[in-house]
Amino acid sequence: MDFELSEDEAALAQGIRSLCAGRFPLERLRAAEGGDGLVDAEGWTELADAGVFSLQLPESAGGIGLGMAASSVVFEELGRALLPGPILASHLASYLVPDAADGAADGKVMVGAVRRPPTSGTEAFVPALVEHLSSLGVLIVVGDDGLAAVDPADVDAVRIGRPLDPLTPLWRVDELPEGRPVGGAEQARRWRRDQAVLGGALLVGLAAGTLDMAVAYAKEREQFGKPIGSFQAVKHMCADMLVAAETARAAVHAAAVTIDQPGVGDPERAAAGAGLLASEAAIKNGKICIQVHGGMGFTWEVPAHLYLMRARVLSQAIGPVGGLAELVAELY
Amino acid sequence: MDLRYSEAEEKFRLELRQWLADVVPKLGPKASSLDWPARRTYDTAWQRMLFDAGYAGIDWPVEGGGRAASPVEHLIYLEELERAHAPYVGVNFVGLLHAGPTIVVEGTPEQRARFLPPILRGDEVWCQGFSEPGAGSDLASLRTKAVRDGDEYVVTGQKIWTSHAEVADYCELLVRTGDDDSRHRGITWLAMPMDRPGIDFRPLKTIAGSTEFGELFLDGVRVPVANRMGEENDGWRVTMVTLSFERGTAFVSEVLQSMGFLRDLREMAKRTGAWSEGDVRRRMGHLGAELDALWALARRNVSQAARTGVPGVGGSVYKLGLSELRQRIGEFGMDLIGGAGLSWDELEGLDGAGPIGNADQVNTWVHGFSRTIAAGTSQIQRNIIAERILGLPKG
Ligand SMILES: Cc1cc2nc3c(=O)[nH]c(=O)nc-3n(C[C@H](O)[C@H](O)[C@H](O)COP(=O)(O)OP(=O)(O)OC[C@H]3O[C@@H](n4cnc5c(N)ncnc54)[C@H](O)[C@@H]3O)c2cc1C
């Protein structure tokens, strides 16, 4: 047992972090706010070359053959960089439904995913909101009892004028086509589970990103003749952000390793718990980050809101926290 | 990242599990929580059984009577003890979980040989004399004075909140050896024998109605210089080692114990029908997820300690998270048992009574309040995180 990051894992994270800093700095991403081709084709290929989509595809199929642990450190960095685009679904599809996602692993095709809205219960009859629809080569519809592949050209959709996250374009779809079945209930369960963990990793990256922003600002902004970070109320807000981020990170890593290493725990329970805590950490830290920035935090210019809105998008994608909590309770 | 245990570790686990399955069911009933001498007898007898079976001081060095195994095996050990519902460390808390580990790291070979084996055998019980009436969170302002007289220190002053001092043989004592205003630079860490003349202990009653801590008055108490850990005036550094164990690893079994508690609550809620409420299930699941995350964090801290020898400041993150979580778990239990929570006495036959009765619930809830105070308050942990981990400027 050694639950620290291995050298390889640390190096992998560092590599992705430098790639994002050099190739996808936030200023550049923001220039594309409100558009739909958020990452240019070349950039997407570079992500593919770095292994972002093929990490878990077996080597025999041309992938890198690593597991969830490696993916979780990579996705944390992508989250921290606010990297837009259907990165998570493209990654999941490349190893979970390889036949339906031809070209996903090498970045030739972008894959999206959407939960099939329930037809009964409190969420019944809500339209599906599909992210990045105009960029997708294939859309995976995740139902309770299976996965289906839908051709985006067959989807009757209306673009949302003002999506909450300006870097995640959205389309409203009143009726999702049935599509072609590409996986049964077991595949759908795996999709939801891995999505909770890697969506969790993205969310941990967001939580860490806002923590860094808040701490940097607290060291530099002065009031009453000293840095606001010397005031205890501000310090304690930052400390709470760190606790939230570190706890969620440990949960995400543990869930990833629990999936990779059969026998060390219950992967289902670990994944649901990780997604739940990561969602909360990202949303909480986004909120505190705005508060630490004062009036600046409420401006469009300061990117705190981008992290918070992305957190909402991801939190929605991995499932409502209440549902995740019930799953943990059942499996405890 | 690897959460698998090696073959040797799994073998250790199985042998221990077997042994526990043999002995734990045969243990006598626990002593009343209000009777400290009886608790000492019970806790030290259990410690002696562990020692005789080779299960004491898992990660302590051989010359101290330990097994010299890795911190990872220590973690397995705590896991298995909890799983078997074995007795808690109890009065051996200070000796086994922070004074002992400090001596392992800071003691001379003679000191290790003198102090460690009796802790492991359950012969000597330790208490902690850090806090003073004027020095709680601001520990470095402590004033209990030690003056050198030949090969002894003569100690005069007052400590407070000293847990179970009436049944302790030794006290890990912080004293001022430097000037009055020397703060961190003038503190020394001593092992004070509790049978010396000049020591007066007066218990204080807690909000749980118990007397688990009290005031320790010291008047010209003679402590051998040989009992000093580290150099004179270098005690603050030694203290940081002690606190890193106290915050970093000492509470690990509480996470596991809380998981069991939560499962018991679920069984109770299922019997009473409360489980049909979505809100109850979600609250339980949330607390469960948080416990799982802290267990992950504990394993991360232990992995780090295995590499560096001493748990890092990550212990503050863990201590803060766990102590606040324990309070919420206590509140959840109280909410579930309703009226039964108004009685410390066990109420047979009420909704609350079950695998864990109402007395356990009340105890868990009330003791939760001490968790965010003892071993450094939550506010102090946040200060440490902000200043030492995040590098924010000192106020
Ligand atoms: C059950 C229990 C057992 C204990 N056992 C022992 C023991 O065996 N040995 C021992 O030595 N001690 C023991 N303690 C003492 C414990 O370590 C102290 O109570 C603790 O360090 C706080 O000190 P204090 O009680 O003087 O509170 P204070 O330091 O007076 O704090 C009062 C309040 O002010 C806040 N505060 C203080 N300073 C700051 C600051 N800089 N920033 C923000 N807030 C601040 C605190 O967080 C707290 O809310 C025990 C305590 C309890 C509750």
- Residue range B304-315: mean pLDDT, rounded: 83
Same-domain status, B261 and B217:
no
Q: Give B245 Cα–ligand 1 centroid separation in angstroms.
A: 17
How, if at all, do strands B145-149 and B152-163 pair?
Answer: antiparallel
Residue-wise pLDDT for B107-165, tens only, equals 999 999 999 999 999 999 999 999 999 999 999 999 999 999 999 999 999 999 999 99
Q: Is residue B378 part of a domain?
A: yes
Asked if residue B299 and residue B260 are part of one domain, the reply reads yes
Q: Whose CA is nearest to atom 37 of ligand 1?
A: B137
Burial B262-294 (b: 16+ CB within 10 A, else e): bebbbebbeebebbeeeebbbbbbbbbbbbbbb
Is the Cβ pair A230, B385 closer than 8 Å? no
Nearest CA to ligand 1 atom 31: B137
Closest-CA distance, B318 to chain A, in angstroms, reads 8
Write out the residue range of the structural domain in which residue B157 sits.
127-233
Complex ipTM more than 0.90, yes or no: yes
If pLDDT is split at 50, 70 and 90, which confidence band does B338 have?
confident
Structure tokens at B117: 């084996």
Task: Look over chain B and give the mean of its residue pLDDT values, rounded to a whole number.
Answer: 93
Q: What are the tokens at A171?
A: 């389309």
Nearest chain A alpha carbon to B1 = A3
B256 & B215 share domain = no
Question: Could you tell me if B263 and B373 lie in one domain?
Answer: yes
| Confidence (pLDDT) at B395 | 80
Say which CATH number the domain at B337 has. Answer: 1.20.140.10
My answer on whether B273 and B380 are in the same domain is yes
Q: Is residue B97 part of a domain?
A: no
Give the C-alpha separation, B10 to B348, whole Å. 41
CB contact under 8 A, B285 and A328: yes
Which of B373, B380, B383, B385 has most ligand 1 atoms within 8 Å of CB, for mutation? B373
pLDDT digits (tens, 9 = 90+) for B11-41: 999 999 999 999 999 999 999 888 999 999 9
Interface touch A239/B296, C-beta < 8 Å: no
**Would you state the pLDDT for residue B182?**
96
Classify residue B203: in a domain, yes or no: yes
pLDDT above 80 for B5: yes
B93 lines ligand 1 (CB under 6 A): no
Dump pLDDT digits (tens) for A250-299.
Answer: 999 999 999 999 999 999 999 999 999 999 999 999 999 999 999 999 99
Which A residues, 201 through 220, put their C-beta within 8 Å of a C-beta on chain B? Answer: 215, 218-219
Six-digit token string for B350: 């009420």
Q: Which helix (H) or strand (E) holds A305?
A: helix A304-318
Q: How far apart are CA B66 and CA B88, in angstroms?
A: 19
**Which ligand 1 atom is at minimum distance from the Cα of B139?**
21
On whether both B205 and B299 belong to a single domain, the answer is no
Give the pLDDT of residue A117: 86
Does residue B56 sit within a domain?
yes
Q: How many CA atoms lie within 13 A of B331 on its CB side?
A: 9
| Nearest by Cα to B6 from A278, A261, A93 | A261
Tell me whether residues A236 and B382 touch, CB distance under 8 A. yes
Contact list in A for residue B299 (CB cut-off 8 A) is 1, 3, 254
- What per-residue confidence (pLDDT) applies to B346? 86
For residue A45, the number of C-alpha atoms closer than 13 Å in the C-beta half-sphere is: 4
Q: Region B183-188: what's the mean pLDDT?
A: 97
Q: Are residues B229 and B291 part of one domain?
A: no
Among residues B153, B156, B160, B150, the alpha carbon closest in space to that of B127 is found at B160
Residue range B61-71: mean pLDDT, rounded: 90
Note whether residue B245 is domain-resident: no
pTM exceeding 0.90: yes
pLDDT digits (tens, 9 = 90+) for B189-200: 999 999 999 999
Partner residues linked to B148 by β-bridges: B153
Dihedrals phi, psi of A113, to nearest 5 degrees = -145, 150
Residue B246 is among the residues annotated as catalytic for this protein? yes
> What is the reported pLDDT for A66?
97
CA of A232 to the centre of ligand 1 (A): 17
For chain A, list the domains and their CATH numbers.
Answer: 187-331 (1.20.140.10)
- Tally of structural domains, chain B: 3
Cβ-count burial of A96 within 10 angstroms (0-12 exposed, 13-18 middle, 19+ buried)? buried
**Quick one: B213 and B258 in the same domain?**
no
Please tell me the predicted confidence (pLDDT) of residue B351: 54
Same-domain status, B275 and B227: no
Ligand 1 pocket check for B128: Cβ under 6 Å: yes
- Ligand 1 pocket member B374 (CB < 6 A): yes
Do B283 and B184 fall into the same domain?
no
Same domain? B264 vs B181:
no
A181 exposure class (CB count in 10 Å sphere: 0-12, 13-18, 19+): middle
Would you give per-residue pLDDT tens digits along chain A (332 residues)? 999 999 999 999 999 999 999 999 999 999 988 887 678 889 999 999 999 999 999 999 999 999 999 999 999 999 999 999 999 999 999 999 999 999 999 999 999 999 998 777 766 667 899 999 999 999 999 999 999 999 999 999 999 999 999 999 999 999 999 999 999 999 999 999 999 999 999 999 999 999 999 999 999 999 999 999 999 999 999 999 999 999 999 999 999 999 999 999 999 999 999 999 999 999 999 999 999 999 999 999 999 999 999 999 999 999 888 999 999 999 99
Q: How far is the CA of A53 from the centre of ligand 1 (A)?
A: 51
Residue B106 lies in a domain: no
Work out the pLDDT band at B314, boundaries 50, 70, 90.
Answer: confident
CB hemisphere CA count around A273 (13 angstroms): 34
- Mark whether B340 and B368 lie in a shared domain: yes
What is the rounded average pLDDT of the residues B207-220? Answer: 95
- The tens digit of pLDDT for each residue in B225-278 reads 999 999 999 999 999 988 888 877 777 888 999 999 999 999 989 988 999 999
- Cβ-contact A252, A204 below 8 angstroms: yes
- Write down the pLDDT at residue A12: 97
Looking up residue B209, the CATH number of its domain turns out to be 2.40.110.10
Is B201 touching ligand 1 by the criterion CB < 6 Å? no
- The Cα-based distances of A134 to A35, A104, A111, A137, A174 in angstroms read 11, 16, 11, 9, 16
Instruction: Determine the pLDDT at residue A255.
Output: 98
Whether ligand 1 lies within 6 angstroms of the CB of B370 is answered as: yes
3-state secondary structure B76-91: HHHHHHHHCCCCCCHH
> Of residues B79, B82, B172, B246, which has the active-site annotation?
B246
User: What does the alpha-carbon distance between residue B245 and residue B305 come to, in Å, rounded to a whole number?
Assistant: 10
Cβ–Cβ contact B328 with A under 8 A: no
Residues of B in contact with A215 (CB under 8 A): 390-392
Q: Is A264 at the interface with chain B, CB within 8 A?
A: yes
Identity at A159, one-letter amino acid code? R
Q: Which of A40, A48, A38, A42 is nearest to A16 (CA)?
A: A48
pLDDT (mean) for B323-329: 97
Tell me if B94 is assigned to some domain. no
Q: Ligand 1 center to residue B137 CA distance, Å? A: 5
* Closest residue in chain A to residue B316, using alpha carbons only: A243
Round the CA-based radius of gyration of chain A to a whole number and report it.
Answer: 19
In the prediction, which pLDDT does A320 show? 86
Determine if ligand 1 sits within 6 Å of the CB of residue B133. no
In a domain, B287, yes or no: yes
Q: pLDDT of A108-123, one tens digit each?
A: 999 999 999 877 776 6
Instruction: Find the helix or strand (DSSP H, E) in which A138 lies.
Output: strand A138-142
- On the question of pLDDT at B358 being above 90, the answer is no
CA of B136 to the centre of ligand 1 (A): 5
Closest CA to A194 of A311, A288, A303, A70: A70
Q: What pLDDT is recorded for position A84? A: 94
Nearest CA to ligand 1 atom 43: B379
